[in-house]
């Protein structure tokens, strides 16, 4: 499967790295976190369905899945017909996840 990042997911990854590097003054940690997230995402090219769907509606019905990586959650959707895994959002697990997911632009009425 081909793995693609949405614009929002790319921005999320940049913001996570930037926050850890600039606000926490931890450039090595920032690089480590970004590397771990990207490695987990890259691994979705094979068997992306091995991770669970997010258990809250309406996202569960839309087939939105997630991977926990360190203290972050990577949300994605699998499109079997185009053989694509779309990374939708990457966020700190301590955030209000549902509030962040409500902002997803899926072309769907949430």
What is the CATH classification number for the domain harbouring 89? 3.30.2310.20
pTM: 0.93
Mean pLDDT of 49-76: 96
- Cα gap 52→64, rounded to integer Å: 9
Residue 107 lies in a domain: no
Mean pLDDT of 16-28: 97
**Count of domains forming the chain:** 1
Distances (CA, A) of 31 to 25, 28, 35: 12, 5, 6
At 44 the pLDDT is 98
Residue 81 lies in a domain: yes
Please state whether the peptide bond connecting residue 35 to the residue before it is cis, i.e. omega within 30 degrees of 0.
Answer: no
| Mean pLDDT for the chain overall | 93
The tokens describing 51, both together, are 């991770």
Neighbours of 87 (CB within 10 A): 23
Residue 110 lies in a domain: no
At 107 the pLDDT is 60
Look up the domain containing 32 and give its range. 2-101
């Amino acid at each position: 499967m081909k793995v693609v990042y949405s614009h929002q997911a790319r921005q999320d990854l940049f913001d996570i790295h930037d926050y850890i590097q600039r606000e926490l003054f931890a450039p090595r940690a920032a690089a480590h976190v970004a590397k771990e997230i990207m490695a987990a995402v890259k691994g979705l090219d094979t068997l992306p369905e091995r991770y669970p769907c997010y258990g809250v509606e309406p996202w569960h019905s839309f087939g939105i899945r997630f991977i926990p990586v360190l203290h972050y959650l990577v949300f994605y959707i699998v499109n079997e017909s185009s053989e694509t895994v779309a990374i939708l959002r990457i966020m700190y697990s301590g955030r209000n996840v549902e509030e962040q997911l409500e902002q997803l632009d899926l072309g769907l009425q949430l």
